[in-house]
Structure 1
Amino acid sequence: MGGSSGILAPASPGSPPVHAVEPAVVARDLAAGYGTETVWAGATFEIGAGEMVGVLGPNGAGKSTLLRLLLGLLRPQRGTVQVLGRPPMRGNPDIGYVPQRRPTTDETSIRGVDLVRLGLDGHRWGTPLPGRRQRAAGRRVADAVAAVAAQPYAGRPVGQLSGGELQRLLLAQALVGEPTLLLLDEPLASLDLRHQAGMAALVSDLARELGLTVLLIAHDVNPLLPVIDRVLYIGRGGVAIGTPGEVITPEVLSRLYEAPVEVLEDSRGRLFVVGLEDEVSHPHGY
């Protein structure tokens, strides 16, 4: 299946675990693109409340496009999508979002704690809140910083922080508004393997503790394998969803790319996709 083809995984693997509450995301024959260009199409899936889903695929496949749809920043070309029971809308306070991290310089002087506070009152930047609301906001910022264990460096300028420290503070910024859905665009990028595993475990722990639904974009599924429920794999205009064992297989990926694809597993259980050299330049193929 390629081009504008749709879901690859059969209905049963693509179905979310049984939840007593309404799904967080429901897509029906969904197509996304820009102008007249379709990036992917035919996506039908549900993300259950409380699920943690890894969004995988090569560069340019449309992973960030999916998040733009859910954030209400892009309209579907075809089909429908519901987010937390209603059509997507800009500025939804029930969604916490961490975009792809942009490089900072040593001269970036905003403190980490102020970066977190932007998640509460970024639209009011430069305008102080009244006293009582100011104190309440301060408590929420402190709680969010504590949730990601960033107290030791939250008072420092972000330009002096490591990539892992900054990523934790951006996560706190997304949490400070007390969302129910968390959208993370490559939060593991630029982190070493140890910190990738630590960040994935932190997100998983917070999701369980706070009852969050999480969609996390990544290039490499391996740091996510211990913590995710399912993967949503985007490639060549199609979408496949299921558990890692159901989707990251030679059969599913070969159909997705209309080319022979191998999936190798090493002695430590890490997965490696072989045969996507024309799709990506990085070794993991995600």
Structure 2
Amino acid sequence: MSAPEPALTFRDVSVIRGRRTIWSQADFEVPAGGVVAVIGPNGAGKTTLLHVVLGLLTPASGRVEVLGRKPGALNNEIGYVPQDYGSQLGEAIRARDAVTLGLCGHRWGLRRPTSAERERVERVLAAVDATSFADKRLSQLSGGQRQRVALAEALVSRPRMLILDEPLAALDLRNQREIVSLMQRINSEFGVTILVVAHDLNPLLPILTGAVYLLDGHPHFDTLDGVVDEELLSHLYGTPVEVVHTPQGDLYVRRSW
């Protein structure tokens, strides 16, 4: 039986904006089916990497494949949640309508959903525990509720990959835990590869299978065991980092003073 096709393939890829090289020599594969963080210091090019994956930015050199095709070719099979989810839709839209747009509002312009599409919207709202506030406007929702709606909209078209840009930013600890648990459930039940940009690894450590990390201007990929390394993380963030294993078997990283 042949091995599954990688979710992402980068071969000697570099990206230049203006006259500045954002990063170069990206040469790695990301296996399909996992939850993968994209990490690095501010300005390292994390969002740039997402734009390359989505086909919004053409590399200066090298080859990129996303789900076995050129970037952008299968964007209808990728659910993308940007940092500023809601700003493009408007604060007045209802949560249910925002999710419906994931089916009816992108490829053909806004149209009335079919009964089957309405049923699918209801199923995905239930899957992310958003049914109870589905009729509220986005402006009325908490940060955690907005993230559930964002995930529902990204999931409703049955994607093979989810790309999440800082989904835990500005959430309190309880909501971070709930969204991370939801991401784990989505990965398991829907079989979706999840690529998530994150500044803080700790909330995601229980569910991560690996990480793309941008080190010294070069993106790399490794499994979680290879990434959660004191020397690597200290070099990556430019400050001493300690990896802690608790007696209960939990793992977290912290700045070492």
| Match for residue 33 of structure 2 among 45, 50, 55 | 50
- Asked whether the equivalents of residues 19 and 49 of structure 1 are also in contact (C-alpha less than 8 Å), the reply is no
Identify the residue that residue 252 of structure 2 maps to in structure 1.
270
Work out whether 1:157 is the aligned partner of 2:137: yes
Identify the residue that residue 80 of structure 1 maps to in structure 2.
63
Amino acid at match of 2:43: G
Are residues 256 and 116 of structure 1, via their aligned partners in 2, closer, same or farther at CA, if it must alter by over 3 Å?
same
- Asked whether the equivalents of residues 234 and 240 of structure 1 are also in contact (C-alpha less than 8 Å), the reply is yes
Give how far 1:125 is off.
Answer: 8.2
Identify the residue that residue 20 of structure 1 maps to in structure 2.
3
Work out whether 1:134 is the aligned partner of 2:114: yes
1:1-286 map, 5 Å? 20-89=3-72, 92-101=75-84, 108-123=91-106, 127-129=110-112, 134-253=114-233, 261-265=240-244, 267=246, 269-274=251-256
Whole-Å Cα distance in 2 between the matches of residues 21 and 91 of structure 1? 17
- Asked whether the equivalents of residues 55 and 217 of structure 1 are also in contact (C-alpha less than 8 Å), the reply is yes
Give how far 1:194 is off.
Answer: 1.7
Give how far 1:233 is off.
Answer: 1.4
Whole-Å Cα distance in 2 between the matches of residues 171 and 37 of structure 1? 34
Structure with more contact order per residue of length (Cα contacts < 8 Å, sep ≥ 6) = 1
Whole-Å Cα distance in 2 between the matches of residues 102 and 151 of structure 1? 19
Amino acid at match of 2:24: A
Give how far 1:260 is off.
Answer: 6.8
Whole-Å Cα distance in 2 between the matches of residues 223 and 149 of structure 1? 20
Q: The residue matched to 1:123 in structure 2 has which SS?
A: coil
Amino acid at match of 2:173: L
Whole-Å Cα distance in 2 between the matches of residues 33 and 149 of structure 1? 41
Could you state the TM-score of these two structures normalised by the residue count of structure 2? Answer: 0.88
Give 5+ residue unaligned stretches, structure 1: 1-17, 276-286
Instruction: Please list the CA deviations of residues 197-232 of structure 1 after superposition, one character each: whole Å capped at 9, or x if unmatched.
Output: 211111111111111111011110001110010111
Give how far 1:47 is off.
Answer: 1.2
Give 5+ residue unaligned stretches, structure 2: none
- Asked whether the equivalents of residues 248 and 263 of structure 1 are also in contact (C-alpha less than 8 Å), the reply is no
Q: The residue matched to 1:270 in structure 2 has which SS?
A: strand
Give how far 1:234 is off.
Answer: 1.5
- Asked whether the equivalents of residues 165 and 196 of structure 2 are also in contact (C-alpha less than 8 Å), the reply is yes
- Asked whether the equivalents of residues 144 and 171 of structure 2 are also in contact (C-alpha less than 8 Å), the reply is yes
Whole-Å Cα distance in 2 between the matches of residues 103 and 180 of structure 1? 23
Give how far 1:19 is off.
Answer: 7.9
- Asked whether the equivalents of residues 101 and 110 of structure 2 are also in contact (C-alpha less than 8 Å), the reply is no
Instruction: Please list the CA deviations of residues 120-164 of structure 1 after superposition, one character each: whole Å capped at 9, or x if unmatched.
Output: 1223787433xxx52122112111111101000011111000000
Amino acid at match of 1:26: T
- Asked whether the equivalents of residues 264 and 274 of structure 1 are also in contact (C-alpha less than 8 Å), the reply is no
Could you state the TM-score of these two structures normalised by the residue count of structure 1? Answer: 0.80
Are residues 218 and 255 of structure 1, via their aligned partners in 2, closer, same or farther at CA, if it must alter by over 3 Å?
closer
Whole-Å Cα distance in 1 between the matches of residues 199 and 38 of structure 2? 8
Amino acid at match of 2:244: E
Q: The residue matched to 2:132 in structure 1 has which SS?
A: coil
Whole-Å Cα distance in 1 between the matches of residues 225 and 106 of structure 2? 43
Amino acid at match of 1:239: P
Are residues 252 and 26 of structure 1, via their aligned partners in 2, closer, same or farther at CA, if it must alter by over 3 Å?
same
Amino acid at match of 1:115: A
